[in-house]
């Protein structure tokens, strides 16, 4: 029921305050009195929770807020108050800061109630603690500024209340990012960093340890909800997923707590991010012990990570190994001793001093109603012999924040009051003027720490990374293992000494908390349907794609000249393929080409040696030698097809092939025509040989060849062949080949060769029935048949052959057709010349003709 009463109390207070300000400067309801006070020229207000809880004395159903009974002393806020008093005493005793001006204070207790925080804030603002006067609320604020409160929720209520009056308010511990909104909270400042930076730093810390699958528990108030919302947003940007995010408040009923416990037990994540205040974590620790929730790696906020009270309560080591962010350690000379000397409190407020003394030493000052069993207080008890929350100095950075807040006020007053040798005035300043200059104040403490507010009225974000490490003491030791500085570049903000960290369960390695194992290089993450992005499958990259980092989201396609290796984690240069002189097929084709040229040369030598014999003369020796020369060129031009294609080799191979073959076929065609004309000349009345003598034969060969030369020149001029990387035939390798450039030019060259070969074949076929002793036409017919068959078969083989085999097929066609011409035309004649010399006579050559 406590949250219900708190809400009702807040509503009633706001209604009462609204009505009061409409008509008069009054606070309706129970009176509020300061717990500590001191007169001075300028008064500073203080709002702290001397008590951590409260109970409603009686329920009233009116617009007047019900009275509260404050219970359970809060030692921490007493320490904060002592820090404020210490700063005030130092300033009042200073001869350089505010000389001649004394600071006073009025400090109220909120009992942990937001409603009470609003009431005491208004009491500080208008100076009326319990009045029913109907006068208008026109005078300026009673205090120069207000220090406090500790919690974000209370500060939100207070800052929103006094914001319209521009009365400055400085908090030492309210970290909610929401308070950075200067539209809603125009007069709010703080000497602590916003949770925006803490949430981001927490997310970076979690990512640094490689945890992508975590759970989260937050205090169910403005501090926890806003902080966790920012953390969740930052975590998503960094690829971190929350398996669960559970709210918790110390007053939750048992059934709600059990559901939280069951959620944690059923989870698979092993890391818990605790965005909690220490009061809630105290309750939660007891529940974790009760339900045996152990073995989790905790990540904490500054709200509890350096709190020795929490550490001393953790007797079952549930939080051992916890890491988190804490406000950097600071030192204020003399502050520790002042806090532990509580006797000065007696002069500021005897009632609260008496209550604190009795609670610290578990004694009682004598009264008439005291029980005989109560230990009486002597006033001589020694606090140095005690060991409790009040004597614990682990939150010295927060005490320092209070101290710096008071000094910020003093330095601003010093500047505005014209304090040089002595202050020109002792009057309290206008709130708006004071607020404007307070935002710009910049000074150094006596210990050398520079203090200033940023554009949002906050301290600069710096944190220490704290690790809970076991010791022989009563609780874990807080060891600094890293630093976080938001003022540095993003990549340099977080620095952690991994080797010095002690992890939960005393494991030696960083605990693993992922939904899916990391995807190694060579794979990419594929999100599972209906699951968070941290739950994924590792999908291998396809051929030609790589991923060279762990947990890659996509696979990168290699450049067209590169291909993925077997592991798919690097692009390697593609293998280049061409018909090389070093490989077996290239060597064989080279040998065959040279052998063919060598045989042609031998036949030419034989023909030259026996050039005066009848068989050589009868076969037109001039055309025969020219044919042998062209065949030798045909054999040698095949060598230009072997080796890595270059611009010159591509142009040379096709043009040399086209011209030499035309020269060759032109010679064969000339020999065929000569045969036909020779036998036509034996017919009486036909004297055709005079039209096809040696000069005409030479001109015909030259003319046919020049036509091919002209075709090649046009081809090279318009669109010549060029070296080309074929990336399409094989994906994993590059075929180096010669692109023909102009397809018309290429097929024109081949077509012209084919036309001459076909014409030669037809003429030779017509001369096939000439006398047996003079049978060259038959050999030409057979050679042309082989030539045409080879090149007809070449076309489909050339089109369908892959890579270097395309070139091999072309070379094979050249060699096959060349050998066909060489052997069919010249081998029979060499046989007669060398082995049957008796047949190499004019008589034998003409014998058959005479009989016919």
Rounded to the nearest angstrom, the gap between the alpha carbon of residue 593 and the centroid of all alpha carbons in its chain is 60
Q: What is the pLDDT of residues 207-252, one digit of tens each?
A: 999 999 999 999 998 889 999 999 999 999 998 999 999 999 988 9
pLDDT for 579 equals 84
Same structural domain, 673 and 806:
yes
The token duo for 408 is 């910020």
Neighbours of 226 (CB within 10 A): 23
pLDDT for 138 equals 45
User: Does 851 have pLDDT greater than 60?
Assistant: no
Q: What is the pLDDT of residues 419-440, one digit of tens each?
A: 987 888 888 899 999 999 999 9
Q: Which one of 136-140, 453-457, 847-851 scores highest in mean pLDDT?
A: 453-457
Residues 272, 244: Cα–Cα separation, whole Å: 9
Handedness of CA 307, 309, 310, 316 (dihedral sign): positive
**Could you report how far apart the first and last alpha carbons of the chain are, in Å?**
140
Same structural domain, 418 and 567:
no
Residues 144, 588: Cα–Cα separation, whole Å: 104
Handedness of CA 251, 255, 258, 260 (dihedral sign): negative
The token duo for 822 is 């060489």
User: Does 264 have pLDDT greater than 50?
Assistant: yes
The token duo for 484 is 């976080």
Residues 546, 536: Cα–Cα separation, whole Å: 18
Same structural domain, 248 and 262:
yes
pLDDT for 499 equals 92
User: Does 847 have pLDDT greater than 70?
Assistant: no
User: Does 201 have pLDDT greater than 60?
Assistant: yes
Question: What are 171's strand-pairing partners?
Answer: 190
Hey, is 38 helix, strand or coil? Answer: strand
Question: What are 28's strand-pairing partners?
Answer: none
Same structural domain, 738 and 828:
yes
Boundary-marking domain end, from 389, 420, 452: 452
Question: What are 494's strand-pairing partners?
Answer: 484
Same structural domain, 42 and 184:
yes
User: Does 14 have pLDDT greater than 90?
Assistant: no
Same structural domain, 401 and 491:
no
Residues 205, 217: Cα–Cα separation, whole Å: 17
Positions of E strands within 135-240 = 145-148, 169-171, 188-190, 213-219
Q: What average pLDDT does the segment 491-514 reach?
A: 92
Burial environment of residue 489 by CB neighbours within 10 A (0 to 12, 13 to 18, 19 or more): exposed
Please, which pLDDT band fits residue 9 given cuts at 50, 70 and 90?
very low
Provide the percentage of residues in the chain whose pLDDT is more than 90.
39
Positions of E strands within 413-559 = 442-444, 450-452, 462-469, 477-485, 494-496, 523-527, 536-540, 545-546, 556-557
Please, which pLDDT band fits residue 625 given cuts at 50, 70 and 90?
confident
Q: Is residue 79 part of a domain?
A: yes
Q: Is residue 457 part of a domain?
A: no
Q: What average pLDDT does the segment 109-136 reach?
A: 76
Same structural domain, 247 and 310:
yes
Same structural domain, 674 and 622:
yes
pLDDT for 324 equals 95
Q: DSSP letter string over 44-70?
A: EEEEE-SEEEEEES----SSSPPPEEE
User: Does 729 have pLDDT greater than 80?
Assistant: no
Q: What is the pLDDT of residues 332-383, one digit of tens each?
A: 999 999 998 887 777 766 788 888 888 888 888 876 565 666 788 888 888 8
Q: How many residues does the chain have?
A: 852
Cβ 14 vs Cβ 29: under 8 Å: no
The residue with greater pLDDT, 10 or 572, is 572
Hey, is 320 helix, strand or coil? Answer: coil
Residues 670, 664: Cα–Cα separation, whole Å: 10
Same structural domain, 681 and 801:
yes
pLDDT for 591 equals 93
pLDDT for 239 equals 86
Please, which pLDDT band fits residue 6 given cuts at 50, 70 and 90?
very low
Angle between the N-to-C axes of helices 2-23 and 114-126, in degrees from 0 to 180, rounded to the nearest 10: 20
Q: What average pLDDT does the segment 669-695 reach?
A: 62
pLDDT for 772 equals 47
pLDDT for 371 equals 60
Q: What angle do CA 180, 181, 187 make, to 5 degrees?
A: 80
Residue the block writes with tokens 């009025």: 106
Q: Is residue 435 part of a domain?
A: yes
Q: Which residue range forms the structural domain that includes residue 111?
A: 30-52+73-193+333-452
Cβ 533 vs Cβ 527: under 8 Å: yes
- What CA–CA distances, in Å, run from 184 to 405, 430, 478? 21, 21, 37
Hey, is 667 helix, strand or coil? Answer: helix
Phi (first) and psi of residue 104, to 5 degrees? -115, 175
Please, which pLDDT band fits residue 678 given cuts at 50, 70 and 90?
low
Q: What is the mean pLDDT of the chain?
A: 84
User: Does 689 have pLDDT greater than 80?
Assistant: no
Provide the percentage of residues in the chain whose pLDDT is more than 70.
87
Helices (H), 417-560: 431-440
Q: What average pLDDT does the segment 267-287 reach?
A: 92
Domain CATH code at residue 213? 3.40.50.2300
Q: Is residue 789 part of a domain?
A: yes
Please, which pLDDT band fits residue 55 given cuts at 50, 70 and 90?
confident
Question: What are 496's strand-pairing partners?
Answer: 482
pLDDT for 704 equals 87
Q: Is residue 66 part of a domain?
A: no
Domain total in the chain: 4
Q: Is residue 112 part of a domain?
A: yes
Residue the block writes with tokens 């937050």: 218
The token duo for 434 is 């004071």
Q: What angle do CA 240, 244, 249 make, to 5 degrees?
A: 125
Same structural domain, 493 and 346:
no
Q: Is residue 529 part of a domain?
A: yes
Same structural domain, 645 and 774:
yes
Please, which pLDDT band fits residue 835 given cuts at 50, 70 and 90?
confident
Q: What angle do CA 244, 250, 252 make, to 5 degrees?
A: 70
User: Does 191 have pLDDT greater than 90?
Assistant: yes
Residues 329, 606: Cα–Cα separation, whole Å: 108
Report the range of poorest mean pLDDT among 41-55, 61-75, 718-732, 835-849. 835-849
pLDDT for 4 equals 38
Residues 691, 53: Cα–Cα separation, whole Å: 133
Burial environment of residue 689 by CB neighbours within 10 A (0 to 12, 13 to 18, 19 or more): middle
Same structural domain, 296 and 374:
no
pLDDT for 452 equals 93
Q: Is residue 633 part of a domain?
A: yes
DSSP β-ladder status, 323-326 and 297-300: parallel
Q: Which one of 130-144, 639-653, 801-815 scores highest in mean pLDDT?
A: 639-653
């Amino acid at each position: 029921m406590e949250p219900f009463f708190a809400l009702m109390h807040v509503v009633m207070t706001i209604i009462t305050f609204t009505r009061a300000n409409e008509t008069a400067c009054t606070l309706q309801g129970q009176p509020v009195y300061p717990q500590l006070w001191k007169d001075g020229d300028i008064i500073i207000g203080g709002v702290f929770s001397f008590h951590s809880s409260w109970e409603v004395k009686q329920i009233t159903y009116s617009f007047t807020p019900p009275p509260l009974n404050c219970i359970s002393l809060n030692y921490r806020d007493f320490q904060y108050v002592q820090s404020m008093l210490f700063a005030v005493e130092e300033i009042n005793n200073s001869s350089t800061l505010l000389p001649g001006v004394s600071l006073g204070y009025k400090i109220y207790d909120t009992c942990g109630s937001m409603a009470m925080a609003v009431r005491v804030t208004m009491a500080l603002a208008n100076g009326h603690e319990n009045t029913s006067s109907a006068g208008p609320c026109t005078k300026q604020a009673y205090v120069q500024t207000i220090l406090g409160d500790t919690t974000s929720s209370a500060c939100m209520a207070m800052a929103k209340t006094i914001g319209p009056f521009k009365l400055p308010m400085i908090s030492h511990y309210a970290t909610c990012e929401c308070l950075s909104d200067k539209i809603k909270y125009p007069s709010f400042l703080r000497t602590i960093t916003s949770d925006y930076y803490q949430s981001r730093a927490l997310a970076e810390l979690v990512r640094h340890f490689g945890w992508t699958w975590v759970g989260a528990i937050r205090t169910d108030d403005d501090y926890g909800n806003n902080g966790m919302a920012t953390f969740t947003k930052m975590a998503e940007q960094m690829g971190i997923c929350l398996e669960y995010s559970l709210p918790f408040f110390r007053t939750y009923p048992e059934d709600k707590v059990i559901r939280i416990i069951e959620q944690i037990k059923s989870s698979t994540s092993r890391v818990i991010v605790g965005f909690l205040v220490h009061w809630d974590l105290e309750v939660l620790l007891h529940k974790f012990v009760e339900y045996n929730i152990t073995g989790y790696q905790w990540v904490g906020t500054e709200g509890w990570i350096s709190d020795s009270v929490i550490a001393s309560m953790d007797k079952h080591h549930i939080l051992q190994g916890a890491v988190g962010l804490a406000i950097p350690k600071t030192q204020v000379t003399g502050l520790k001793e002042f806090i532990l000397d509580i006797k000065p409190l007696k002069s500021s407020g005897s009632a609260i001093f008496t209550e604190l003394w009795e609670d610290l030493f578990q004694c009682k000052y004598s009264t008439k109603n005291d029980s005989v069993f109560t230990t009486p207080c002597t006033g001589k008890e020694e606090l140095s012999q005690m060991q409790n929350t009040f004597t614990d100095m682990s939150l010295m950075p927060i005490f320092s924040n209070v101290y710096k807040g008071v000094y910020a006020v003093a330095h601003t007053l010093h500047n505005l009051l014209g304090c040089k040798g002595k202050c020109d005035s002792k009057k309290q300043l206008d709130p708006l003027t004071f607020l404007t200059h307070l935002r710009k104040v910049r000074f150094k403490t006596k210990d050398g720490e520079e203090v200033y507010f940023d554009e949002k009225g906050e301290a600069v974000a710096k944190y220490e990374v704290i690790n809970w490490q076991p010791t022989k003491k009563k609780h874990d030791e807080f060891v600094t293992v890293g630093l976080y500085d938001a003022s540095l570049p993003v990549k340099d903000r977080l620095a952690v000494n991994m080797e010095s960290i002690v992890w939960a369960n005393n494991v030696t390695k960083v605990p693993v908390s992922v939904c899916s194992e990391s995807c190694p290089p060579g794979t990419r993450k594929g999100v599972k349907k209906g699951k968070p992005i941290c739950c994924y499958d590792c999908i291998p990259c396809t051929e030609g794609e790589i991923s060279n980092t762990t947990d890659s989201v996509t696979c990168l396609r290699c450049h067209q000249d590169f291909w993925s290796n077997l592991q798919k984690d690097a692009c390697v240069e593609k293998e280049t393929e061409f018909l090389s002189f070093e490989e077996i097929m290239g060597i064989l084709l080279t040998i065959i080409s040279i052998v063919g040229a060598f045989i042609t040369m031998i036949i030419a030598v034989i023909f030259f040696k026996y050039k005066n014999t009848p068989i050589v003369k009868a076969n037109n020796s001039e055309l025969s030698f020219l044919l042998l020369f062209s065949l030798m060129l045909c054999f040698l031009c095949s060598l230009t097809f072997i080796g890595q294609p270059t611009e010159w080799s591509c142009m040379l191979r096709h043009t040399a092939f086209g011209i030499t073959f035309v020269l060759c076929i032109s010679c064969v065609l000339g020999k065929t025509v000569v045969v036909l004309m020779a036998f036509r000349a034996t017919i009486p009345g036909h004297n055709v040989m005079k039209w096809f003598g040696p000069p005409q034969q030479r001109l015909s060969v030259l003319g046919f060849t020049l036509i091919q030369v002209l075709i090649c020149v046009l081809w090279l001029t318009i669109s010549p062949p060029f070296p080309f990387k074929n990336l399409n035939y094989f994906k994993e390798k590059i075929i180096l080949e010669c692109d023909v450039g102009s397809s018309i030019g290429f097929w024109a060259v081949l077509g012209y060769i084919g036309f001459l070969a076909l014409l030669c074949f037809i003429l030779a076929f017509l001369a096939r029935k000439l006398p047996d002793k003079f049978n060259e036409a038959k050999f030409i017919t057979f050679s042309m048949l082989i030539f045409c068959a080879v090149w007809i078969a070449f076309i489909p083989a050339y089109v369908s052959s892959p890579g270097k085999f395309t070139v091999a097929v072309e070379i094979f066609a050249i060699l096959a057709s060349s050998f066909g011409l060489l052997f069919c035309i010249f081998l029979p004649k060499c046989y007669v010349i060398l082995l049957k010399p008796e047949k190499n006579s004019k008589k034998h050559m003409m014998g058959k003709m005479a009989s016919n």
